[in-house]
């Protein structure tokens, strides 16, 4: 059945799909000198972001300047409405005006920071400062409407209305939201402007250097031969790509344009093929070590070291993908599907030897974070490592083309610059490397054999900054929510409301939190969703006795699965557009495939040992073994197939046994193991009997 299969990319336009299902990707399109001008503006902004590493500014000045540039560029690239983006080189005059108006309040704050902070009493804020604050907030709302979506506006607007209801005046609200570090220039925007921007740029560099295709080929070499191989390839490659992409929709469209058509070709139903890609792509953000930059954000919010968070997230992530992987396997066996032909599968060792160097930047990033470097420095050094690899590749290409000319010496200039700055001038490692990196990008344009590398570097900087825009706006708006919570003591008020409703019942509190996360996540990007829920609901869970890390992981998990939970399952809908399937059926299938993501957070909330909190070596071994068996049982039950098609009386106990095995409790795990063992024996005997009678 699989002999004549060829992997071909779908003719569907990925950019159009991204614009349709991802608000942040719905930008204006430019060509000619206008495209060049936009590129220059984005590169200049990237230089500004890196430049802040060289000199120290007050936090409010740096953040306001950062957001001021975002506001200016945002009104130029985000259209007023979707259809406007289809017009090439079109920016209405009013958007030029709005760009200037929107940026002015933030630069006003940056330039008048000292004078504003000296006004201790909020009532002393003059009319100019008041007007600037109001304009800045209103313009932020409008740009968020364009780039992020309407739902988050209702959330933030509702919080501002609550502040009025609480009895706060316009002056106090504007001052706290716009001019203090508990508002817009607060922790969310600070985190975004200091290191998330560098992680997004790093992700863009990885994408531009072809690591996505490498991951697909790598996954193909590992699982392409197996039953339902293309679907398993999709799971592995999407898990790897999702680590750094930070966007469920982008990951679905990027790898799904290759994997979904191939899954359909070997016999998977369109809605199942799209669901596999959507579920795997969404789960990439929970996969250590990068976790779509969430691990670093969580570290900043909780004060827990990055290494601890990354290690704690391993088992839940493995169980998530193991569940999807096993359900794919059982579906393939049920349908009698085969893998890809051997001739189309790359050799793992040859592939790794040839392109394994692409993983070095990720290794550098994880190593530096693990040894205590700051997130910003780690991300910057990972970017520099990528540039260094490109430099070495360029030198090899020049030599290969026998150009033993001064061109080679020019490519050594970045190395000389680095050594001179780091050793000769005692400049810090990070700053010396960054300046050497800038030197390399300039040098790369000189020779025709290396010019492509210069173009890749410039495109990566542009793409990284462009991808940062939506996240920055969402973080700024999340700052408004945090500011109102601080101003009105809303956190303690919610605690007083929810705890009595839950009647000290942890399950009810967890369930209400889950619903909030999923509903909010249907229209809010993952980063903003996590920030909002970490500000509002995580403290409630912590108050009820859940460890800090478990509480934050809980809200993060359910914020992510919103992308595949109907009725607004954007990742599933993007996958269905590629597969040509029913969007709702695709969303339902994706939710079923990702069922472990709805179970595991409850388990580590009740028993943090799953996150290796308070667990010894024996506990870890038992948890891993029982959880894997539990996922096997749960996946088989949901597919209705293990060694053969299952009967109803086999499915129910297998479901119960699987859930009991996943729960980190020795007694419950023992009961679950006994139940699952009985069903496995029954299935094995029935399968043996089928073979005797020649039944496949």
Residue spans per domain, the chain: 616-696
pLDDT for res 578: 86
Of 320, 322, 296, 318, nearest to 309 by C-alpha is: 296
User: What angle (nearest 5°) sits at the alpha carbon of residue 368, between those of residues 247 and 293?
Assistant: 15
pLDDT for res 9: 43
CA distance 73 to 2: 49
Residue 321, token pair as written in the block: 């993908």
Model pTM? 0.83
Of 286, 107, 235, nearest to 593 by C-alpha is: 235
Using CA atoms, how far residue 551 sits from 187, 505, 535, 558, in Å, is 19, 15, 11, 11
CA distance 550 to 34: 48
Let me know: does 337 contact 266? Beta carbons within 8 Å. yes
pLDDT for res 119: 58
pLDDT for res 3: 39
CA distance 190 to 188: 5
Cα 693 to chain centroid, rounded: 51
CA distance 492 to 166: 14
CA distance 403 to 406: 9
Cα 319 to chain centroid, rounded: 19
Let me know: does 543 contact 499? Beta carbons within 8 Å. yes
Which ranges of the chain have pLDDT less than 70?
Answer: 1-25, 85, 118-125, 242, 244-246, 292-294, 398, 401-411, 447, 449, 499, 502-504, 523, 693-696
Encode burial over 311-343: b for 16+ CB neighbours within 10 A, e otherwise.
Answer: ebbebbbbbbbbbbbbbbbbbbbbeebbbbeee
């Amino acid at each position: 059945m699989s002999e004549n299969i060829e992997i071909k990319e779908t003719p569907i336009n990925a950019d159009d799909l991204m614009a349709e299902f991802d608000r942040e990707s719905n930008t204006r399109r430019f060509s000619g000198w206008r495209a060049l001008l936009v590129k220059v503006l984005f590169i200049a902004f990237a230089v500004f972001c890196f430049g802040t590493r060289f000199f120290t500014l007050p936090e409010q000045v740096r953040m306001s300047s950062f957001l001021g540039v975002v506001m200016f560029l945002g009104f130029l690239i985000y259209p007023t409405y979707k259809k406007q983006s289809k017009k090439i080189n079109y920016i209405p005059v009013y958007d030029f005006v709005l760009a200037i108006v929107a940026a002015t309040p933030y630069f006003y704050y940056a330039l008048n920071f000292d004078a504003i902070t000296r006004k201790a009493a909020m009532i002393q804020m003059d009319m100019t400062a008041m007007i600037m604050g109001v304009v800045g907030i209103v313009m932020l709302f409008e740009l968020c409407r364009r780039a992020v979506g309407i739902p988050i506006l209702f959330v933030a607007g509702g919080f501002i209305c609550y502040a009025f209801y609480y009895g706060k005046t316009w002056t106090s609200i504007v001052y706290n939201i716009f001019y203090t570090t508990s508002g817009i220039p607060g922790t969310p925007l600070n985190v975004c402007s200091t290191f998330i921007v560098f992680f997004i740029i790093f992700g863009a560099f990885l994408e531009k250097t072809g690591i996505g295709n490498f991951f697909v080929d790598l996954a193909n070499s590992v699982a392409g031969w197996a039953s339902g191989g293309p679907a398993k390839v999709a799971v592995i490659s999407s898990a790897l790509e999702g680590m750094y992409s930070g966007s469920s929709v982008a990951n679905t469209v990027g790898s799904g344009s290759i994997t979904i058509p191939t899954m359909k070709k070997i016999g998977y139903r369109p809605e199942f093929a799209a669901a596999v890609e959507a579920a795997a792509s969404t789960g990439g953000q929970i996969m250590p070590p990068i976790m779509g930059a969430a691990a670093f954000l969580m570290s900043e919010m909780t004060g827990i070291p990055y290494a601890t968070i990354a290690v704690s997230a391993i088992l839940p992530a493995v169980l998530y993908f193991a569940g999807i992987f096993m359900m794919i396997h059982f579906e393939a066996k049920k349908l009698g599907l085969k893998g890809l032909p051997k001739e189309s599968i790359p050799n793992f060792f040859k592939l790794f030897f040839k392109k394994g160097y692409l993983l070095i930047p990720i290794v550098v990033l994880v190593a530096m974070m693990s040894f205590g470097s700051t997130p910003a420095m780690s991300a910057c050094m990972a970017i520099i490592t990528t540039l260094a690899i490109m430099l070495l590749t360029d030198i090899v290409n020049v030599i290969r083309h026998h150009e033993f000319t001064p061109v080679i010496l020019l490519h050594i200039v970045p190395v000389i610059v680095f050594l001179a700055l780091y050793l000769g001038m005692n400049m810090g490692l990070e700053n010396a490397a960054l300046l050497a990196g800038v030197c390399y990008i300039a040098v790369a344009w000189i020779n025709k054999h290396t010019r492509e590398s210069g173009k890749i570097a410039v495109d990566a900087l542009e793409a990284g900054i462009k991808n940062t825009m939506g996240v920055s706006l969402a973080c700024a708006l999340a700052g408004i929510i945090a500011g109102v919570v601080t101003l009105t003591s809303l956190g303690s008020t919610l605690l007083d409301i929810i705890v009595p409703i839950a009647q000290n019942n942890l399950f009810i509190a967890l369930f209400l939190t889950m619903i909030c996360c999923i509903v909010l996540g249907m229209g809010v990007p993952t980063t903003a969703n996590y920030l909002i829920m970490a500000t509002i609901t995580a403290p409630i869970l912590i108050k009820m006795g859940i460890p800090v890390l478990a509480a934050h992981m809980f809200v993060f998990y359910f914020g992510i699965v919103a992308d595949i939970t109907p009725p607004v399952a954007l990742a599933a809908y993007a996958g269905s557009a590629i597969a040509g399937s029913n969007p709702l059926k695709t969303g339902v299938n994706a939710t079923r495939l990702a069922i472990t993501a709805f179970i595991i957070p409850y388990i580590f909330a009740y028993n943090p040992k799953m996150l290796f909190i308070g667990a010894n070596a024996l506990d870890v071994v038992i948890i891993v073994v029982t959880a894997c068996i539990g996922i096997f049982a749960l996946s088989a039950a949901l597919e209705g197939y293990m060694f053969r098609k299952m009967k109803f009386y086999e499915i129910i106990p297998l479901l119960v046994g699987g859930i009991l095995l996943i729960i980190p409790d020795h007694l419950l795990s023992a009961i679950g193991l006994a139940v699952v063992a009985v069903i496995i024996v029954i299935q094995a005997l029935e399968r043996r009997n089928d073979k005797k009678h020649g039944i496949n």
